[in-house]
Structure 1
Amino acid sequence: MRTIIALLLFINSLGLFAQTPELIPFLKGKRWGFVNAQREIVVPCMYDYVYPFSEGLALVELERKFGYINAQGKTVIPLKYDKAQPFKQGRAKVETIFGKRTNGQFKVGYIDKTGKEIIPLQYLGLTNFRDNMATIWDGDYNGYIDYVGKVLVKPQYKFASRFSESRAWVATKMPTYDMLVGCFLHKEAFLIDAQGKQLHTIKNAGSESFSEGLCLIIAKTNDSTVTRYFIDKQGKKVLDVSDYDAVHGFTEGLAAVMKNNKLGFIDRAGKLVIPCQYSINFKWFYQDHKRTLFNFKKGLTAVMLAPDQGWNVIDKQGKTKLPRNYQYLRVATSTQILAKRNNHWGIISPEGEIILPLQYQAVKPFKNGLALVRKGRKWFYVDRDGNEYFEE
C-alpha cells in the first residue's frame, strides 16, 4: 500500500511537468498564434498576445481587446473585453472600461464558457475568489459576494481584505503607512467571519492574512512601542513575538523572523528552531508584500547564507540541500526552484538538477509542461525539453 501511495504522489508531482500540450503559444515576429508539437502553425500568428489553453479555451488579445478561441482557432467569445483572465473551474474574470481609457473605470464580473455573465459586470472592483468569497467595490465601499454572486456582506467598508481561512479584516477608514513599523496601520479594524459577524477589534495596528489558523498582528502604542503577536480565529492572543524586528506568517508549522538583520525561523510554540543567521534586511523583508518569499514548500525554503556566499535551499532543520550556492534562489513549487547565476535565470530541482538551463533574463515556473521566459526583450514559451517556441 505504501508503494502505491508513493507512486500516486510521484505521478501527481509530475503535473507541473506534464507532457507538452497539443497546442503551444508561438511567437512569430511580433505576433502570436499556436503551433502543435511538430511546430506546425494551427492557429495563425495574428494576435498581440495569447495565453496557454485552459479548459479548452485560450485567452487572446488583439488591439487591446480580449476574447477566447477554441483549439480550431475559432472565436467563441468575442474580443470585446478590456481585461480578462484564463478560464478556471468553468469561469473567467473579465472587465470592461467605461469613460475614456486614460481615466475611465472598469466594471468587473465573471462569464462562463459560452460568454454568459454568471456574475454581472456591475462592480467597479472585484477580487479573485478565495474561500469561495470575493471582495467587491461599488465605487465607495467594499463588501463580499459568494461564488454564485450572492451578496454576503453589503458594501459598507472603506477597507476590506480578502478572506483567508474564513476570516477577513475590515475597516471604516483606510489604513496609513507607518515608517517605524514598516507596514500599514489601522486606527480601528475588525475581524469578521463569512457571515460578516465582527469577532475581534484591533486599534493602531496592522494585520496579515490567516495562515494555519493564526494571524500576525503588529501594533503600536502611544509611546511608539511596537508589539507583534499572533491571534487565533476568535481573536485570542496566543503567541507574542515582540522580541523580533519583523515576522511573517506560518507555513508548514514555521514562521520567518528577523533579528538584527538576520533571518531565522520559529515554530508555533515560539521556539527558535532555525537560528537567526541568514542575511536579510528590514526593507527587503517587508518588500515581500505577499509574505511568501520565505514560505516552506514541502519542507524547503531559500535563504541567503551571506552576501559573499550567495543563496542555498534549507530544510526545516536548517540543513543546506544544494551542492552549490547561487546568486539568487526562490522555491516556486515543491518541484521547481527558480535559480539565478551570472545574472541569468533558469529552473533547478530540489536536488540541484538543471530543469531549464540558466540562460534567460527572466523565467516563470513550468505549468502544464510550459514555462514563460524572457531572452533580451522577447518573451516566449519553452517546453520541458528546452524547445523554444518562437521565430523571428
Structure 2
Amino acid sequence: MKIHYKKTALALGFCGAFLTLPAVAALQSFEVENNNDIKCGYKNDNGKVVVAAKYYSCSDFSEGMARVSLMKMGMVKGYDGAEDYEDYLYMQGYINEAGKLVIPVEHQAPLFYGVIIDYRDFKEGLVAVYKNGKYGYMNKTGKMVIPYAYQTAGDFSAGRVVVSKNDKYGVIDKTGKTVVPFKFNWLDGYYEGLARYNTSMQGDDEGKIGFVDKSGNIAIPAKWDEAMEFSEGLAAVKVGGYNNGKWGVIDKTGKVVIPPKYDRAYIEPMGDSPDVDGGRYEGGKLDVYNLNTKGANAYNDGYDSITRYTLDRQGKVLSKKTYAEWSEIE
C-alpha cells in the first residue's frame, strides 16, 4: 500500500534558497547571491527594500503572514526512537505585511526523507509549529493555543485538523478538543467531507484504504490498495499491487463508476518527494495511464511506451496520446 499526498507547502530546501512566486501583497520576496550564498528578503511595490536579504527562504503571504527561515547546525531528533544526530536545522518565523518580524525565527521546521523541509503557513489563523519531536499550534501573536503534543499535524480546514499521537490518528478542533477519536492507524486530511483511512500503519503494503466522514464514521469500507482523495465527487482507487494493480473510479457511496483497468492514475516525480501529479478530477476530466509492454525495454522499467487516456466522469475516453517516457508528459 502506498500513500500519496496532495501537494502542500513542503519545500525542497537542500538545493539552495527557496523563493516562491510573487505574493499578492504589498511586499514581494527577492533574493541576492554573494559568493554562491543566496539570501532573500522583501521589497515593496516601489522596489524599496523593507526586509533585508538575510533569510534562507522567504514565502508568499498567507493570511497576512509570510514565513522566513534560517539554517544552522544542531541536533536533530531521531525518527521513531532512533538516536539523535547532528545536521542542519531549518528554523522559521513569520513577518506581517509591514515587514515586522512578529514571530521570532526560532521554530524548527523538521526534515523528512533527508530532503523535504516541513515548512508551514498560517491556515485559518493558526500554524503548526514543532519542538522536541512534537507539533502544536500557534496563533498570529505567537501564542501557543494548542500545546506541543502530536507526532504529526496537518493544516486546519473548516475548523478541524488531522493529528496523531501514540501512533494513532484522530481529529481536533481549534480548542484542541478531540472531535474524531484517536483510533486510526493512518488518517488523511478531509477533502469534500471525506478522509482516507488505512487499516495498517502508513507504508505497510498489507493495509487497505477506505474513507471516513467528519464524525469518524466509516463511509466507504477499506478494501482498496491505493486511493486518491475525492475531487468533484469522485476518487481514483486501485485494486492490486504496485506492478500489477489496476485503477478505477468510485463515487462517495463507494460505487464503482469506472471499473479498474488502468495501470496508473498519476505521475510520480523524480526524487524522494511524496507528492504526485494527477489522480484527481479537474473540470470533469481525469488523466489515467497504461504501460505498453510489448517488446518491453528492460532499461525502461519494463515498458516501451505510455498511453495517456483522458476520461470523463462516466469513463468515456475523450482523448488519448502515446509517449515514450514519463518525462515527455506535460
Q: Tell me the TM-score normalised to structure 2 length.
A: 0.64
* Structure 1 residues 172 and 218, CA gap change in structure 2 (3 angstroms): closer
Aligned with 1:331 (options 257, 280, 287): 280
Equivalent position of 1:246 in the other structure: 186
Match for 2:181: what amino acid? D
Equivalent position of 2:256 in the other structure: 320
State the Cα deviation string for residues 295-318 of structure 1 (Å, max 9, x = none).
Answer: 222212211033455111211111
CA distance in 1 between counterparts of 2:311 and 2:246 reads 16
Equivalent position of 1:302 in the other structure: 236
- The answer to whether the 8 A contact 1:341-1:358 is kept is no
- The answer to whether the 8 A contact 2:236-2:247 is kept is yes
CA distance in 2 between counterparts of 1:168 and 1:344 reads 41
Aligned with 1:158 (options 75, 100, 108): 108
Match for 2:62: what amino acid? R
Equivalent position of 2:308 in the other structure: 345
State the shift of 1:105 in Å. 3.6
State the Cα deviation string for residues 68-102 of structure 1 (Å, max 9, x = none).
Answer: xxxxxxxxxxxxxx9865556478654333323xx
Equivalent position of 2:95 in the other structure: 145
State the shift of 1:327 in Å. 1.0
**What does 1:3-22 align with in structure 2 at a 5 Å threshold?**
none
Aligned with 1:258 (options 183, 189, 198): 198
Aligned with 1:107 (options 31, 40, 44): 40
Equivalent position of 1:47 in the other structure: none
Partner SS for 1:321? strand
* Structure 1 residues 309 and 213, CA gap change in structure 2 (3 angstroms): same
Aligned with 1:129 (options 48, 53, 61): 61
Match for 2:209: what amino acid? L
* Structure 1 residues 335 and 83, CA gap change in structure 2 (3 angstroms): same
**What does 1:143-292 align with in structure 2 at a 5 Å threshold?**
143-159=93-109, 161-173=120-132, 175=133, 186=134, 189-203=135-149, 205-220=151-166, 226-242=167-183, 244-260=184-200, 261-280=207-226
State the shift of 1:126 in Å. 1.6
CA distance in 2 between counterparts of 1:169 and 1:340 reads 36
State the Cα deviation string for residues 327-372 of structure 1 (Å, max 9, x = none).
Answer: 1220153433231112333543333344552323678xxxxxxxxx
State the Cα deviation string for residues 140-159 of structure 1 (Å, max 9, x = none).
Answer: 54211234533332323223
* Structure 1 residues 93 and 311, CA gap change in structure 2 (3 angstroms): farther
State the shift of 1:248 in Å. 0.5
- The answer to whether the 8 A contact 1:84-1:92 is kept is no
The structure with the largest alpha-carbon Rg is: 1
CA distance in 2 between counterparts of 1:210 and 1:252 reads 14
* Structure 1 residues 300 and 84, CA gap change in structure 2 (3 angstroms): same
State the shift of 1:107 in Å. 2.2
Aligned with 1:96 (options 32, 38, 42): 32
The number of aligned residues is 251
Partner SS for 1:298? coil
Match for 1:270: what amino acid? G
Q: Tell me the TM-score normalised to structure 1 length.
A: 0.55
CA distance in 2 between counterparts of 1:146 and 1:335 reads 38
CA distance in 2 between counterparts of 1:362 and 1:94 reads 36
- The answer to whether the 8 A contact 1:297-1:334 is kept is no
Equivalent position of 2:82 in the other structure: none
* Structure 1 residues 231 and 333, CA gap change in structure 2 (3 angstroms): same
* CA RMSD between the two structures: 3.2
Identity of aligned residues (%): 22
- The answer to whether the 8 A contact 2:161-2:189 is kept is yes
